[in-house]
Structure 1
Amino acid sequence: MSDALSEFTPRSRPERQQLTTPDGVRLDSVLIRAEARATRDTAVVLANGFTGTWRSPDTKMIASRMLPVGDVMTFDFRGHYASTGASTVGNHEVDDLQAVIEHLRGLGYAAIATVGFSMGAAVVVRHAGLFGGVSAVVAVSGPSQWFYRGTTRMRLLHFGVERPLGRWFLRVARQVRVTDQEWDPMPQDPVELAPRVAPAPLLVVHGDRDSYFPLVHAHRIHDAARHPKELWIEPGMGHAERSLTPRRAERIAEWLTANQAAVHPSETG
């Protein structure tokens, strides 16, 4: 077992797997199975933020806290680290998530919840609205709209993905390859698809010290969504995976255990 895999909780069996999307992108993925679990019908998928990876200590901590809910699969989006292709920063990433979910269904998991962070939060909301069939959705620190430039960090991010120099820096310094193609057609943004997440329950989590997206983004997604839905505004919390403490991750796991719905894979929002 590689050093990266050995850093997961000792009470689990991480299995590195390579998945392929319908458009031929190969995704570097890890399935973490809890050793003590007798049945394997429930899974949680973690969708990282932009530049995030399953290798990060934050993602590994969150994965370990999700194991009481079910086995956990985390992966690197297209263009990130060992996954092939180029990042589209939230557009075609819904196809990456669907490939992961279809793989888990093929393994026999009937209930599959998705938990996304920042860009991954936008992806899990959009995926549930477009594909349906998930048992619950958790969106942490997510944007409600495309092209938001209202904070310094988001202006820097746009420089990184829109300018050749920024894309070069991301490729060299962060191992992230970003497409130089504009979106055509323009995909629906998260707030447009939030009403279609139901019948799966939706939990929106946002910190009041988020330096990327102010609280209005969380309120817009929550307000647009249909019931069942819930909104947590977390005092003192910053942005995405790095700000999710072990206790916050455990609370999300507890919410998933209590709120997962019986949604047939063929259903849409």
Structure 2
Amino acid sequence: MSNGSAGRVTRTTSWRSRRAGTERADGGTLRTTLRAADGVPVDALYEPGPQGVEGPAIVLAHGFTGDLERPHVRRAAAVLARYASVVTFTFRGHGKSGGTSTVGDREVLDLTAAVSWARGLGHARVVTVGFSMGGSVVLRHAALHRAEAAAEPGEGRTDAYADAVVAVSAPARWYYRGTAPMRRLHWLVTRRSGRVVGRHVLRTRIHPREWDPVPLSPVEAVPLIAPTPLLIVHGDRDPYFPLDHPRMLADAAGGSAELWLEPGMGHAENAAGEELLVRIAGWATRFSTGCSGRDAEHGY
């Protein structure tokens, strides 16, 4: 859904923030407005972790109809912030960010701005963690910026790449209508009456046009991510996307991704319990040592 997909580009311009709008709070917390490469303002929040900029930063990408101020997003961020610095931001068309939602297409530009901001604050390692729609965005972002991850400084890097990627409750393919919640979501996105409900009830402004061209799908993106470490997390009671979605993503990775199928878990941030978030934080902060997230959980 957009004029001019973000899914086929290989590079974006550097982010810039409205410095005059940056708010500082005690403890190093920052709230600012970033600018995506296409000019859309993106509301963003930085919370320093226990190691400050010497440790990794986790950039959290929320699901459709969420924003950085929603309680389920704040809860997830609070758990992750025990182990790393955390950047939360609000995708276009949601909350206090500008523009309209393209439901996973141009949102990759918003994530790019947030990752670049984390690096600009001094973090040498940045991990992206996305939920549902945000999960599809972190996969596409990692694929589109893979070449930057391998490049040396001065070889064209924009520092917009991720050092590791976690996709939670992500779809594998576009236009999926196999469950009742996804059929309702398609009504919300494709019908004028649905978009009215989205704007006034769900605080989500949805772009009225279909994707043209259709962006790279998550399952097409996954083979392009390696050697960047990738973790796929999915609940076996997800009412939106059944287990063929994470299995399809893992198969597409050709053995280079780690797959966690979580018993009893539903969908995205609301269903991610503290124990799972701690394990994700362990994987995200220890990926460079070669430890798996299952091993890392025993370190706490």
TM-score, reference length from structure 1: 0.89
Please name the residue that 1:224 is paired with: 252
- 2:253 maps to 1:238: no
Q: 1:228 to 1:69 in 2, by over 3 A?
A: farther
**Structure-to-structure mapping, 1:120-131, within 5 angstroms:** 120-131=134-145
Question: Distance between the aligned counterparts of 1:80 and 1:235, measured in 2?
Answer: 31
Whether the aligned pair in 2 keeps the contact of 1:194 and 1:221 (CA below 8 Å) is: yes
Please name the residue that 1:97 is paired with: 111
Please name the residue that 1:56 is paired with: 70
Counterpart amino acid of residue 177 in structure 1: R
Whether the aligned pair in 2 keeps the contact of 1:212 and 1:239 (CA below 8 Å) is: yes
Question: Distance between the aligned counterparts of 2:40 and 2:53, measured in 1?
Answer: 31
Please name the residue that 1:26 is paired with: 41
**Structure-to-structure mapping, 1:200-211, within 5 angstroms:** 200-211=228-239
Whether the aligned pair in 2 keeps the contact of 1:200 and 1:260 (CA below 8 Å) is: no
Please name the residue that 1:118 is paired with: 132
Please name the residue that 1:4 is paired with: none
Counterpart amino acid of residue 127 in structure 2: A
Counterpart amino acid of residue 243 in structure 2: L
1:148 to 160, 163, 176: 176
- 2:206 maps to 1:212: no
Q: 1:135 to 1:235 in 2, by over 3 A?
A: same
Give 1:122 deviation, angstroms.
Answer: 0.2
Give 1:214 deviation, angstroms.
Answer: 0.2
Question: Distance between the aligned counterparts of 1:118 and 1:248, measured in 2?
Answer: 16
SS in 1 for 2:281: helix
Question: Distance between the aligned counterparts of 1:12 and 1:72, measured in 2?
Answer: 13
Question: Distance between the aligned counterparts of 2:56 and 2:280, measured in 1?
Answer: 15
Question: Distance between the aligned counterparts of 1:96 and 1:54, measured in 2?
Answer: 13
Counterpart amino acid of residue 200 in structure 1: T
Q: 1:103 to 1:226 in 2, by over 3 A?
A: farther
Give 1:151 deviation, angstroms.
Answer: 0.2
SS in 2 for 1:52: coil
**After TM superposition, where is structure 1 displaced by more than 4 Å over at least 4 residues in a row?**
none
SS in 2 for 1:254: helix
Q: 1:256 to 1:165 in 2, by over 3 A?
A: same
Q: 1:41 to 1:252 in 2, by over 3 A?
A: closer
Unaligned runs of 5+ residues in structure 2 are 1-25, 147-160, 291-300
Question: Distance between the aligned counterparts of 1:210 and 1:225, measured in 2?
Answer: 21
Question: Distance between the aligned counterparts of 2:207 and 2:289, measured in 1?
Answer: 36
Question: Distance between the aligned counterparts of 1:179 and 1:208, measured in 2?
Answer: 31
Question: Distance between the aligned counterparts of 1:136 and 1:68, measured in 2?
Answer: 18
Please name the residue that 2:32 is paired with: 17
SS in 1 for 2:212: coil
Pick which of 252-261 and 135-144 moved more: 252-261
2:287 to 256, 259, 267: 259
Give 1:190 deviation, angstroms.
Answer: 0.3
Count of residue correspondences:
252
Unaligned runs of 5+ residues in structure 1 are 1-10, 263-269
TM-score, reference length from structure 2: 0.80
Whether the aligned pair in 2 keeps the contact of 1:198 and 1:227 (CA below 8 Å) is: no
Whether the aligned pair in 2 keeps the contact of 1:138 and 1:203 (CA below 8 Å) is: yes
Please name the residue that 1:79 is paired with: 93
Counterpart amino acid of residue 164 in structure 2: A
Whether the aligned pair in 2 keeps the contact of 1:44 and 1:69 (CA below 8 Å) is: no
Question: Distance between the aligned counterparts of 2:108 and 2:62, measured in 1?
Answer: 12
Give 1:63 deviation, angstroms.
Answer: 1.2
Question: Distance between the aligned counterparts of 1:80 and 1:200, measured in 2?
Answer: 29
Question: Distance between the aligned counterparts of 1:237 and 1:104, measured in 2?
Answer: 30
2:276 to 238, 248, 259: 248
SS in 1 for 2:54: coil
Q: 1:38 to 1:148 in 2, by over 3 A?
A: closer
- Over the residues paired in the alignment, what is the CA RMSD in angstroms? 1.8
Whether the aligned pair in 2 keeps the contact of 1:40 and 1:71 (CA below 8 Å) is: no
